[in-house]
Amino acid sequence: MASSFFSFKSFRWVALLALLGASFQGATAKAAVVSIDLTGYTGDNAGASVGGFRQISPFVASPTRLMIFNQYNSSGLYTGLSVAGASGTYGVASTGDSGSDTPLKFGAGATIDGSVVYGQSYSAAVFSNPIRGAVGDYGPSSYIGFRTDAGQYGYIEVTWTASTSTFRMISAAYESTAGVAIQTPSAPVPEPASAMIASLFLGGAAFKRWRSKRA
């Protein structure tokens, strides 16, 4: 009896461990953020000379393409980024899908999901076009969001200087699983050593003011 009891107990433990292992594997096989290789595309306007354009294709799953514009057409010069695809689900997060619309600017720690419009018109996606002019500057920790034709969400970290019509791509990534939201990187937290030095400096300054008042 004892041996059969321990055999059953052992079986239960083995079954439980197997179940936990399967659950863990399932969790790790789910969504993952995948970085996009921007090697060769981090210079001014991603290396696109005035009057031309470049593309990173495919960067997720063909036929999705990251389009880099610095190009003239019959209306004028279009400068910025756009996402091209084959179905009606792709685009850059924007206020709409016309030449008068603008790309949405996301900050650090922002969520990019299906709650916004994804314009397929490159006129709405670019930073500057002859219809509405240029958008305001994009400083550090600025991001544009996009959705691929497979329904994956992603972001591109960028800077944009309107006065010089210059943008730079810093980093980019997408969510591997369609329909799963992606979050832009959080703002960097100061290193403990840096924070300690700043605290000591502020404390010293306050102490100096206190002593001068007492004197």
Does residue 99 fall inside a structural domain? yes
Q: Tell me which residue has tokens 């789910």.
A: 30
Q: Tell me, what's the pLDDT at 202?
A: 57
Does residue 203 fall inside a structural domain? no
Domain that holds residue 165: 33-183
Does residue 40 fall inside a structural domain? yes
Q: Which of 54-58, 172-176, 193-197 has the lowest mean pLDDT?
A: 193-197
Classify residue 87 as left (phi > 0), alpha (psi -120 to 50) or beta. beta
- For residue 72, name the pLDDT band (cuts at 50, 70, 90): confident
Does residue 168 fall inside a structural domain? yes
pLDDT digits (tens, 9 = 90+) for 115-151: 999 998 999 999 999 999 999 999 999 999 999 989 9
Q: Average of pLDDT values for 65-75?
A: 87
Residue 118 · residue 64 · CB < 8 Å: no
Q: Average of pLDDT values for 28-40?
A: 82
CA distance 71 to 123: 11
Amino acid at 60: V
Does residue 120 fall inside a structural domain? yes
> What is the secondary structure of the chain as a DSSP string?
-HHHHHHHHHHHHHHHHHHHHHHHHHHHTS--EEE---TT--SGGGGPPTTEEEEE--SSSTT-EEEEEEEE-SS-EEEEEEEE-SSTT-EEEES-SSTT--BPPB-TT-EESTTSEEE--HHHHSSEETTTEEPPPEEEEEEEEEE-TTS-EEEEEEEEEGGGTEEEEEEEEEESSTT--EEPPPPPPPPHHHHHHHHHHHHHHHHHHHHHHH-
Q: What percent of the chain has pLDDT over 70?
A: 73
Does residue 91 fall inside a structural domain? yes
Taking residue 194's Cβ as centre, other Cβ atoms within 10 Å add up to 10
Q: How many domains are there within the chain? A: 1
Average pLDDT of every residue of the chain: 82
Does residue 210 fall inside a structural domain? no
Does residue 214 fall inside a structural domain? no
Q: Tell me, what's the pLDDT at 6?
A: 42
